[in-house]
Structure 1
């Protein structure tokens, strides 16, 4: 039986027979020409629509929506349309649990896109117990050696992001760095690879300062950074903390030290909080790259049809993950969750005919061909831990707040620097 089918105990003679007859008639209407439209296949999106990580959640939802457009324009999955059910985690692990239960219980999802590292470990037992194939869209290094059968990550780990940040700093000639991160558990997994790579490449960490989110002043913490005389600052904070921190830096040293931030510092809310002018003056951010080519062209063209703005940072990963799940279901031939996860590497990893969009992938699978999806975020080759690797762009906000790419650091360079 497909996931999400409603099972019920029917008792009572004639009433029982009537219920069965109605159910059979409904099934026939779905299945035969001239009946109602085929029942949609439900994808869940579990993401932060509110709270401090709402920027990230918006990117996840938009990426999934763009993929939905590609899937349904091409004819759907197994001849059925794809629908999205959204649940808001409110940027909080505790709130993610009832949201997850709603997706599985009320919405009867087949597969899931999201959440991020903030909520993963709270909802993973629910995912495992209900055998829901899931695309995880977070960077936590704990997942680097994942053994969970149901969870797959198309975006690079924080360990790769951290290495890319250190590599860029060395490329720019910086040798004395300060770390300024807020006290979030995921930040600790970011910092260690930065330190290791930066020191390995000849750099020195001169200060490690932690900020408690939500304070009205960080003057004493900023004074510690300035007194250590760094020539660069590695950073990640939430937008509200950043606004106060940057104001304190402006007061004490007029933002004299350049900053290298994670992908979260490229979010529109972050840039708005610190102002585009300040971000342009002092900050660059490392974000997952969308390599040029057929997959990126398809992604950008579809995005322009669905939304009136440029693609949000990291939306390409949710887009790719949604296409991966759709093609895996098509390859599996049904909604058996075990067959779906077994089919994921069959549609992503070589060998196979390379496809750059859902339409071509669907056509090739229908023709009985082995395919290898190349995503908008890169090659999408999953290792034994269900992780994929990709390049990073160094981006900077313009005075209008729009991001401009300054440099791309390849996946190969990141891998070599991490060894």
Structure 2
């Protein structure tokens, strides 16, 4: 898409599941991708036409909400970049690549994306569901990726083209445990979906809650989208927790909590960021009642201020994009949508700094775009950054998601906000768990 992005179905790829030897096939692909050899050209490639950014995430499957959340950020960034005249004479567009949240589908999807996408210069993703299988492939192709995976495996990342602007899931687990203990809960039940993304929160949640003095009385891994969780709920009731920690897809948590309500009565719930998304709130609120959900619910998500000059630029364009982003206001305070937007802006500014859209060259400038270096001019949008660079200035991009402080592993962490739910659909802030508090248990 250029100034007008096509309907998602036109840009979304889906590949059929592989056969029963998928694990061997995926392992082989990743091994080949990691062990092959490529060399960087001495001079940048020449590009003609529109530059492409991909949103590489689940758009179908249990984690289907991840994709639209990501694509919303890309669309907003692309609009603003194109309105500012594009990048080095090029307009930009966003496409969607559906991983289905499964390495068996994500690996061939990544290969097809790399092999067939014209002028692919960067991407958002992958998610925790497919990151370990696809990051080596994408890194080998020299495509900068701003991943939303929370897996601890990337806390000490060694892939040159991997970047992460949100805290990892192990930090989310710690934040959930700290908040629960502050609230006086001492007997926790970990009730998480069996998918990789959900399970990546569990180890640090369990260990931190125990270190704080709490007890995990039950640790359940739920098969997704079952018609009944009666036996699992009965086990939870028998364990007598005073709080449930959870992340599962909307249908699974709705069924589980509804049956808990019927068999025992509701108890407090602390979820992760996916549980604050509209699809989860709608499903669970519909199952147990919005008023009941408002009384028992809290969720930990990466803290983003959702205010200030950068956020205002982002939010204004977001709300003006309803023709391409359904219910755009649902993403206005979403930390992942905000940082997905920041990722595209950061890559575009890095291209200007490198004087080329060739990823092999501009990837080296990404850290410089966001660095708070002496004498740098703080900028809050692509237009401001482009103008400052044209005037010969160094820049420090502070985005919609707030300042970006990258470590040597290309990770930027930070605090967590604990939000509740109100029956008017808002998410009131309940607490902040600071980065310093999280670091004590990391």
* TM superposition score category, shorter chain reference: 0.7 to 0.9
Kindly provide the CA deviation profile for residues 156-208 of structure 1, in whole angstroms up to 9, marking residues without a partner as x: 10011111111211221212211111222344431111122222223222221
The change in CA–CA distance for 1:41 and 1:270 in structure 2 (over 3 A counts) is same
Q: Structure 1 residue 299 and structure 2 residue 314: aligned? A: yes
Deviation (angstroms), 1:247: 1.5
Distance in 2 separating the partners of 1:163 and 1:138: 16
The change in CA–CA distance for 1:387 and 1:353 in structure 2 (over 3 A counts) is same
Counterpart residue number, 2:328: 309
| Contact persistence 2:55–2:67 (CA under 8 A) | no
Matched residue SS, 1:418: coil
Counterpart residue number, 1:287: 301
Q: Structure 1 residue 140 and structure 2 residue 164: aligned? A: no
| Contact persistence 2:404–2:412 (CA under 8 A) | yes
Counterpart residue number, 1:195: 206
Counterpart residue number, 1:24: none
In the alignment, which of 45, 57, 62 is matched to residue 47 of structure 1?
57
Q: Structure 1 residue 331 and structure 2 residue 353: aligned? A: yes
Matched residue SS, 1:295: helix
Distance in 2 separating the partners of 1:288 and 1:116: 15
Equivalent residues in 2 for 1:146-225 (5 A)? 146-225=157-236
Counterpart residue number, 2:418: 394
Deviation (angstroms), 1:85: 2.2
Distance in 2 separating the partners of 1:306 and 1:390: 29
Counterpart residue number, 2:89: 79
In the alignment, which of 50, 61, 66 is matched to residue 56 of structure 1?
66
Gaps of 5+ in 1: 1-29, 32-37
Counterpart residue number, 1:226: 237
Deviation (angstroms), 1:382: 1.0
Structure 1 residues 142-151 or 367-376, which shifts more? Answer: 367-376
Matched residue SS, 1:287: strand
TM-score using structure 2 length:
0.81
Question: For the aligned residues, what is the CA RMSD?
Answer: 2.0
Structure 1 residues 315-324 or 58-67, which shifts more? Answer: 315-324
Distance in 2 separating the partners of 1:363 and 1:348: 16
Distance in 1 separating the partners of 2:224 and 2:93: 37
Deviation (angstroms), 1:211: 1.6
Structure 1 residues 257-266 or 279-288, which shifts more? Answer: 279-288
Distance in 1 separating the partners of 2:309 and 2:210: 38
| Contact persistence 2:128–2:196 (CA under 8 A) | no
Equivalent residues in 2 for 1:123-134 (5 A)? 123-134=134-145
Kindly provide the CA deviation profile for residues 350-370 of structure 1, in whole angstroms up to 9, marking residues without a partner as x: 213222221111112222222
Counterpart residue number, 1:411: 435
Matched residue SS, 1:222: helix
| Contact persistence 1:260–1:284 (CA under 8 A) | yes
Gaps of 5+ in 2: 1-45
| Contact persistence 2:129–2:195 (CA under 8 A) | no
Deviation (angstroms), 1:305: 1.5
Deviation (angstroms), 1:345: 0.6
| Contact persistence 2:278–2:330 (CA under 8 A) | no
The change in CA–CA distance for 1:309 and 1:42 in structure 2 (over 3 A counts) is closer
The change in CA–CA distance for 1:330 and 1:135 in structure 2 (over 3 A counts) is same
Counterpart residue number, 1:104: 114
The change in CA–CA distance for 1:233 and 1:317 in structure 2 (over 3 A counts) is same
Q: Structure 1 residue 348 and structure 2 residue 370: aligned? A: yes
Structure 1 residues 368-377 or 401-410, which shifts more? Answer: 401-410
TM-score using structure 1 length:
0.86
